[in-house]
A = this chain, B = another copy of it.
Amino acid sequence: MNMNTNKHIDVALELLKESPLKVTNQRNDIIRILFKNGNCHFTAEDVHCEVQKLGLNISLATVYNCLNQFTKHKILKSVKTSCDKIYFDTNVTSHHHFFCKTTSQLIDIDSKNIKFSKLPKIPGGKKLQSVEVVVNITD
């Protein structure tokens, strides 16, 4: 391991190649950062810090562009929480989250660990898009 390539990175790089997005150095670098450790949650600022730490020269605007484009093309997922930042999630499967209000930490909840025995009727004329559960926790 630790050779800057692994299963998660390879899968994401492959998704990038298959997408209509162009494969640039910046996008490759950002994918390596994001998918280095499997399922993770990042803010744009987190990613930009890591970029700097690695001595890469990628502007914050590009980080935002990449994260947004990746999200649009299902390489990433975005998560809104009760704090004011957008989190990007490398787990693109349908799942839910714990959000710790003390530490602002997000933790995945696998779909199979939340089951509904009752869901409300969708208002007339509208279509169901998704059901998002956030389990807020504290220290």
Q: Are A130 and B120 in contact (CB under 8 A)?
A: no
CA distance A123 to B138 in the complex (A): 10
Interface residue? A107 (CB, 8 A): yes
Q: Are B133 and A133 in contact (CB under 8 A)?
A: yes
Interface residue? A80 (CB, 8 A): yes
Q: Per DSSP, are chain A's interface residues mostly helix, strand or loop, or mixed?
A: strand
Give the size of the chain A interface in residues (CB under 8 angstroms). 36
Interface residue? A82 (CB, 8 A): yes
Residues of A47-81 at the interface with B, using a CB-CB cut-off of 8 Å, are 80-81
Interface residue? A42 (CB, 8 A): no
CA distance A132 to B133 in the complex (A): 6
